[in-house]
Amino acid sequence: MAFGRSSRRKRPVEPVTLKILVAGGFGVGKTTLVGAVSEIRPLRTEERLSEAGRPVDDLVGVEGKSTTTVAMDFGRITLREDLVLYLFGTPGQDRFWFLWDELAQGSLGAVVLADTRRLEDCFAAVDYFERRGIPFTVAVNLFEGAERFPIETVRAALDLDPEVPVLLCDARDRSSVRDVLVAVVEDAMARADVPREPART
Amino acid sequence: MSAESARETPGSPRASAGAGSSRWYDAEAGPVVRPYAMTRGRTSSASRHRLDLIAIVVPEPAADDRGRDQTLSPEHVEIVELCSDMPQSIAELASGLDLPVGVVRVLVGDLVEEELVHVTRPVPPAELPDVNILREVINGLRAL
């Protein structure tokens, strides 16, 4: 029964853990982004709808497994033995938003991934974070074949506050995603002096 | 619950998707043992606070006593094993054990009660971590 617990003698290190959310519309590249920097394959953790709050949900016309489980991507970046950053991809579909509140709690901030061909898909996420006073950074995922817009155009189209960082990224590219994450943490640092507004619901 | 979903209980063999052309078999149909059977029907544990997804589960010295294994369920033992290799977050455990997060919370709560593990408290909500930590995060990211 006992499978050798090998590292018993050594007291394990208890890392400080931090989390960053990755939000955006369905199919905008959240899984790709998490996978580009995570040291583990994007793990998927599932919460069954029946026990996760039974949202009013019409199951008809929704195919296969997604009717019973909601997957959320997450990744881990071990910055140091005692400092670990977790990334959580928020569920794309609106009806799983009850999960967001928990994910958002205690997070450093969020990335809203946007696709300029379907910018409206990320309105809901922008709205959510604005309303709750959670700092977020907008990262425009540069899909091949998608028209490139200046950052200011994107900012205006999303009606963002001037302090919200907006940058272009390639969700497949490790260094590009790293730059996005650095922007999120820098933004959090800039706000560290100003106490954050308590979350409103 | 909407009228639509009330008509067909999710999980019943009849609750096939869409036009009813497909049925669920094997893994598609979900686990043979309903997840909350492992918690004996409990949806919350005795411990006071809700465990955060990124709370890290760390084994206590008492967990080294293998005699304790016999009083635990296989899932409890598995959690202790996983954490002994390397302390893991609630989210990682749920993923590693292929169990819903809610179930893992209850099981870890049991282990906390038994003083076999303890759980780190992440930075409290609505509070940002120390600026020095943030700086280290940035440095760590840049070094990737």
- Domain of A158, CATH number, reads 3.40.50.300
pLDDT of residue A166: 96
Give the residue carrying structure tokens 């019973």.
Answer: A68
How far is A14 from B86, CA to CA, in rounded Å?
Answer: 10
Q: Has the ipTM of the complex gone over 0.85?
A: no
* Residues with Cβ within 8 Å of residue A59, at least 6 apart in sequence: A67, B4, B5, B8, B10, B15, B17
Q: Touching check for A194 and chain B: CB below 8 Å?
A: no
Burial class (CB in 10 A: 0-12, 13-18, 19+), A56: exposed
- pLDDT tens across A162-195, in order? 999 999 999 999 999 999 999 999 999 888 765 5
Q: Is residue A35 part of a domain?
A: yes
Q: Which tokens go with B125?
A: 């909500």
pLDDT of residue A51: 43
Mean pLDDT of A36-59: 60
**Considering its fold, how many domains does chain A have in total?**
1
Q: Chain A neighbours among B 77-106 (CB < 8 Å)?
A: 77, 80-81, 83-87, 89, 91-92, 94-96, 100-102
Which of A90, A88, A76 lies closest to A38, judged by CA?
A76
Quick check: A6 pLDDT over 90? Answer: no
- The larger pLDDT score, comparing residue A197 to residue B43, is at B43
Q: Is residue A196 part of a domain?
A: no
Q: Is residue A11 part of a domain?
A: no
**For residue B95, is it left (φ>0), alpha (ψ between -120 and 50) or beta?**
alpha
Distance from CA of A24 to the nearest CA of B (A): 20
pLDDT of residue B21: 53
How far is A161 from A170, CA to CA, in rounded Å?
Answer: 23
Judge: A67–B10 Cβ closer than 8 Å, yes or no: yes
- The larger pLDDT score, comparing residue A10 to residue A175, is at A175
Judge: A59–B129 Cβ closer than 8 Å, yes or no: no
Residues of chain B with pLDDT under 70: 1-22, 27, 29-32, 46-49, 122-128
Chain A: residue nearest B51 by CA? A102
Q: With helix as H, strand as E and coil as C, how does chain A read?
A: CCCCCCCCCCCCCCCEEEEEEEEECCCCCHHHHHHHHCCCCCEEEEEEHHHCCCCCCCCCCCCHHHHCEEEEEEEEEEEECCEEEEEEECCCCHHHCHHHHHHHCCCCEEEEEECHHHHHHHHHHHHHHHHHCCCEEEEEECCCCCCCCCHHHHHHHHCCCCCCCEEEECCCCHHHHHHHHHHHHHHHHHHCCCCCCCCCC
- pLDDT category at A11 given cuts 50, 70, 90 is low
A15 within 8 A of A83, measured Cβ to Cβ: yes
Quick check: A54 pLDDT over 70? Answer: no
Q: Is residue A77 part of a domain?
A: yes
Q: Is residue A199 part of a domain?
A: no
Largest CA distance in chain A: 61
pLDDT of residue A44: 67
Share of chain A above pLDDT 90, in %: 42
B2 within 8 A of A57, measured Cβ to Cβ: yes
pLDDT of residue A19: 92
Whole-prediction pTM value? 0.76
- pLDDT category at A40 given cuts 50, 70, 90 is confident
Give the residue carrying structure tokens 């922007």.
Answer: A183
Q: How far is CA A83 from CA A78, B1, B133, B142, in A?
A: 6, 42, 9, 14
Domain that holds residue A84: 16-57+64-191
Which of A102, A149, A110 lies closest to A126, judged by CA?
A110
pLDDT of residue B19: 45
pLDDT of residue A90: 81
Q: Is residue A91 part of a domain?
A: yes
Q: Is residue A2 part of a domain?
A: no
Instruction: Kindly calculate the radius of gyration of chain A based on its CA atoms and give it in whole angstroms.
Output: 18
Tallying the residues shown for chain B, one arrives at 144
pLDDT of residue B15: 42
Amino acid identity, position A66 = S
pLDDT of residue A57: 45
pLDDT of residue B131: 87
Give the residue carrying structure tokens 């969700």.
Answer: A171
Q: Is residue A198 part of a domain?
A: no
Range picked from A22-26, A197-201, B119-123 for highest mean pLDDT: A22-26
- pLDDT tens across A118-171, in order? 899 899 899 999 998 889 999 999 988 778 889 999 999 999 999 999 999 999
Name the DSSP letter for residue B21. T
Quick check: A112 pLDDT over 70? Answer: yes
Q: Which residues of A touch B138 (CB under 8 A)?
A: 182, 185-186, 189
How far is A107 from B128, CA to CA, in rounded Å?
Answer: 8
* Residues with Cβ within 8 Å of residue B64, at least 6 apart in sequence: A5, A8
Q: Which residues of A touch B95 (CB under 8 A)?
A: 43-45, 74
